[in-house]
Structure 1
Amino acid sequence: MIFNSLGRLIKLWINIIKSSYLSYFIPWRDRWLLQLFVSRQIQIKYRGSVLGFAWSLLTPLFQLGVYTFVFQYALKLKWTENDGNSFNFALLMLTGLAVFSFFAECAIQAPTLILEQPNLIKKVRFPTEILAWALLISTGFSTLILMGFLLVACLILGATSISSTWFTLPLIWFPLIPLVLGITWACSAIGVYFRDLRHIIALFVPLLQFLSPIFYTVSVLPERFQKIIYINPLTLIIEQSRAAIFLGLYPSWEMWRNEISGCMAIAILGAILHNRLRRGFADVV
C-alpha cells in the first residue's frame, strides 16, 4: 500500500514539475560535478583535522552530554514519570538531535552557498542547483555515522532491541530530503541579494531547536499546542524515529504521506524561486 501511494505521489510531482526543473530533482546530467563537490566539501570539512571523521560523533556527543546534565540533573526532568535511566534519556534526546543537526547544518550554510562560488558563477554556465545536493549529501554522510552510533549504543546499553521497524527509518527520514533541498535552494538564492539572511537564519535555528521535540515528547505538551507543534515538519520525523527505534512502532503512513507532500511542495517552491533569481547571480556575486 505504501509503495502504491508513493508511486502515485511521484507521478503527481513529475507532472507538476516542468522539464526545466527536472535537473533540480534528478541531477543525473551533472552527476560527475556533484560527485566532485561532495568530495570537496567533505575534504574541506575535515582537512587538517587530527581526529577527522571522529568529529561527526564528538560534536553531537559533547552537546548531548551538556544537554543531559542540564535537563536531567540540573532541571530534574524525566522523559516519562517512571524513567530515571540517564542512558535512555540521552539516547532519546540523541535521536532528536540527529534529525535536527542534519537540518540545521544545511540551513545555516544555505545563505552563503552561492556566494562562496563567485568564480564559477561569473565565468561559466554553472548549475547552481547542484550545490544544494552537494551540501545535503555531505551533511548526510556525517548524520549516517551518528545514526549508526545511536543504533549500536541502543543495543549495547539495552535501551531497545533490533526490530523490523528499524528498517522504516529511511522512509521516515525521506521527507527531510525535499525539505532541506527546498529551503537550501530558496535561501541560497535569496542570500545572494539579501546578505542579512545568514544572520536571520543563525538567529532562527537555535529557536527552532527548542520548538522541536528534541528535549521532550509531544505528549507532555498541552493538547492545544500538540497540533501546533506538528506545523514544524521536523516534529513528525523526530517522533516517528523514536517510536520506530525504542517502541517498535510503525509510522502512521497517512501522516507520513501528508508530511512528504508538504515537504515536496516546499522543494518545488524553492526550485521555482531559485530558478527565477538565478539570472542575476553573476551580476550581484
Structure 2
Amino acid sequence: MRAPEPRTLERRSRAQTRVRWELLRNLIRKDLKVKYKGSTLGFAWSLANPLLLLAVYTLVFQVIMKSGVPRFGVYLMSGLLIWNAFSASVSAACGSVVFNANLVKKVRFPLPVLPLSAVGFALVHFVLQLFVLFVVVAALGYSFVGPGLFLLVPAFAVVMIFTVALSMLVSALNVRYRDTEHLLEVALLAWFWVNPIVYPVGLIRKVLHEWTWVYFLNPMATVTATFQRAIYKAPYVNPANGQTILADPGYLFYLEHLAIAGAISLALLWFGVHVFRRLQADFAEDL
C-alpha cells in the first residue's frame, strides 16, 4: 500500500484542526446557553457582577475598614477579575471529563476540548467583565488609559498558558483520583490570599524583604500585580502613610517576572499535556 502524499497528510491535518476548533466553539456556546437558559437578563448577570463587587468592596475596604489604598475598588478589581477567571476556569475544567462521562464513553472525539471549553467559557465572561470595569471606571472620571495598558498583553498570554496547563493536569487527575476536585477547591481558597489582591504588595516586602522574589515565583501573583500596574493609576507609595502599593513603578520589573512566570507556565503545560495524554486512554474505564 502506497503511503499518503505529504499534501494529503497536510489536508487531513488541517481538516482535523478545523474539526477540533469547531467542536470547541460549539461546547463553549452550549455552556453559555445552558448557564443562562430561562434567565430574563441572560448575559447581563455576568456584566452586573463586577459592578456589584466594585461597589461592595469599595464600601467595605475604603469607607469602613480604611485600607489605606486610594481608589481601593479599582485596585481590587484590577486583580480580582483575572483571578476569578483563572479560578473559575480551573475549577470547571477539573470536573469537565467526569461531568461528561456519558459522552466520553460513547463518542470518540478529541478529549482535550473538554477542559479547554471550560477555559473558553470563563474567558468570555472575563472579557465582558473587564470591558464593563473599563466603562464604569471611565464614567467615574478615573483615568486608566496609558502605556501601562500594554502590559495586559504579555500578562494575559502568561495567565492563559498557566490556566490551560493547570486545567489539563487537574482534569486528567480528577478522573482517576476523585479527591483532586476537593483538594483543588481548598488550594484555590488558600491560593487567593497568597496573591496581592486585597492587600498591597508593600506588605509582602515588609515581611520577606530581599526574599520577595520567591513570592513572585507564583505566576498568579506576578499576573495579578501586572494587571494592577496596567489598570490602577495611583502613586507607587501612598503619601498619606508611606505604604508601597504597587510592586514597582516601572515596566521592566513586570516584564522580567512575566518571563519567569511564562517559563514556569510552559513547563507546567508540557507536564499537564503529558499527563493528560498518558491517562486519557483509561478515561472510559475509570469513569
Could you tell me the TM-score, scaled by structure 2's length?
A: 0.81
Q: In structure 2, do the counterparts of structure 1 residues 278 and 246 end up closer, same or farther at CA, with 3 Å as the change threshold?
A: same
Number of the residue aligned with 2:217? 231
2:217·2:260 contact (CA, 8 Å) conserved in 1? no
The one-letter code of the counterpart of 1:240 is T
Deviation at 1:266, TM superposition (A): 1.0
Summarize the Cα distance change of 1:178–1:126 in structure 2 as closer, same or farther, 3 Å threshold. same
Change (3 A) 1:28 1:266: farther
Matched letter for residue 105 of structure 2: K
Question: What's the counterpart of residue 194 of structure 2?
Answer: 211
Report what 1:277 is aligned to.
279
Question: Aligned pair count?
Answer: 254
Post-superposition shift, 1:28? 4.7
Provide Cα deviations, 1:174-223, integer angstroms capped at 9, x if missing partner: 11111111111111111111212222222222221111111122123225
Distance change in 2, residues 1:200/1:66 (3 Å) = farther
Determine if the alignment matches structure 1 residue 163 to structure 2 residue 163: no
Residues in 2 aligned to 1:261 and 1:228: alpha-carbon distance in whole angstroms: 15
SS at match of 1:68: helix
Q: How far 1:44 sits from its partner (Å)?
A: 1.3
- Aligned equivalent of 1:58: 48
Give yes or no for contact 1:121–1:281 (8 Å, CA) kept in 2.
Answer: yes
Counterpart residue number, 1:68: 58
Gaps of 5+ in 2: 1-12, 234-248
The structure 1 residue matched to 2:25, chosen from 26, 35, 60, is 35
Contact 1:218 1:226 in 2 (8 A): no
CA RMSD of aligned residues (A): 2.2
- The answer to whether the Cα contact below 8 Å between 1:60 and 1:97 also exists between their aligned partners in 2 is no
User: Following TM superposition, by how much is the alpha carbon of 1:27 offset from its aligned partner in structure 2, in angstroms?
Assistant: 5.4
* Native 8 Å contact 2:218 2:261 kept in 1: no
Once residues 133 and 26 of structure 2 are traced to their aligned partners in structure 1, the CA distance between those partners, rounded to angstroms, is: 29
Unpaired runs of at least 5, structure 1:
1-22
Deviation of the 1:268 alpha carbon? 1.0
Aligned residues of 2:169 and 2:272 also touching (Cα < 8 A)? yes
Q: Pick closer, same or farther for the CA change 1:113–1:233 going to 2, 3 Å.
A: same
Native 8 Å contact 2:93 2:119 kept in 1: no
Larger radius of gyration: 2
Residue in structure 1 matched with residue 36 of structure 2 by the alignment: 46
Whether 1:154 aligns to 2:156 is no
What TM-score results when the alignment is normalised by the length of structure 1?
A: 0.81
Q: Structure 2 CA distance, aligned partners of 1:161 and 1:111?
A: 35
Distance in 1 (alpha carbons) for counterparts of 2:189 and 2:59: 19
Among 225, 239, 246, which residue is 2:232 paired with?
Answer: 246
2:269 corresponds in structure 1 to: 267
Moved more, 158-167 or 46-55: 158-167
After superposing on structure 2, the runs of 4+ consecutive aligned residues of structure 1 that deviate more than 6 Å are none
Q: In structure 2, do the counterparts of structure 1 residues 91 and 27 end up closer, same or farther at CA, with 3 Å as the change threshold? A: farther
Q: 1:166 to 1:110 in 2, by over 3 A?
A: same
